[in-house]
Amino acid sequence: MARSSLTPNGPPRRRRVTRPTLRDQIKQVLLERIVDGTYAPGERIVEIRVAQELGVSQAPVREALRELELLRLVESEPFRGARVRGAGPEEIVEIYPVRAALEEVAAQEAAPRLAGSAGPLAEEIESMRAAAAADDVHRFVSHDVAFHRALVLASGNRTLADIWEGLQVDVRTRLTLTQRFGPLAEVAEAHVPLLEAVQAGDGRRAGRLLRAHIEGFGRAVEEGLARTAAERADATLEEGLARPPAERHDAAVRRGDS
């Protein structure tokens, strides 16, 4: 009895090995779609539709969505299923110091592991260069995220990687603000010194470079969000001033200003 429960081809053994793998594969597919913007913030992820598309049952899709909810990338609504979670300006600004600290540790741990064999990172830089040449911001950000993910995973620190994945709610902001950080080609080249440090196995230097890179982008994001908020406030003021006095008074009454 005990022997049969451990038989490689027996149903209990097959369920224990296959289902977690399937769940993880589905989770990765959904995660990539959230990060590359295929699923927009607020968009509903329909279990049965994903299951049919991937040729699986709904159970592993549901499990994958639960894990993404723990990572705060999706949120569940009673009787409505899961939706991609958006992030407000304050949360987005708070993300970058945390990302910088996490990725500094990741680079320190990954560099010795990748010394002399950082090919996948080099490939992502080449893909960023190609996307920059085509002025394809969406593709550029996708490969930028892939570069950082590859480095984080190479650290071998699963806890760090899980926390890092939960910080990817800012992808739409990256799509909007990446060009404000500088020409795409320059952003791509900014990754080269980091690649060289990793290839040399210099974890301390790689960590320092990566932290500075993310903190710099974080400052650009904060400035961009502040600029966007100011532009919206100005537009609202101009719209209000363009209204006839009677309409402005009625609007103030509705807001409770008078």
Rounded Cα gap, residues 205 and 108, in angstroms: 8
Confidence class for position 150, pLDDT limits 50, 70, 90: very high
Q: What pLDDT, in 10s, does the model give residues 19-38? A: 457 888 998 889 878 876 78
Specify whether the CB–CB gap between 160 and 105 falls below 8 A.
yes
Parse the chain into domains and list their residue ranges.
Answer: 2-84, 89-235
Q: What pLDDT, in 10s, does the model give residues 99-137? A: 999 999 999 999 999 998 889 999 999 999 999 999 888
Q: What pLDDT, in 10s, does the model give residues 195-211? A: 999 999 999 999 999 99
Q: Which two tokens stand for residue 209?
A: 């470079």
Beta-carbon count within 10 A of 91 CB? 14
Strands 44-45 and 74-77: unpaired
Enter the pTM of the model. Answer: 0.66
CATH number belonging to domain 2-84: 1.10.10.10
Q: Which CATH class, in words, describes the domain spanning 89-235?
A: mainly alpha
Q: Is it the case that residue 18 has pLDDT exceeding 50?
A: no
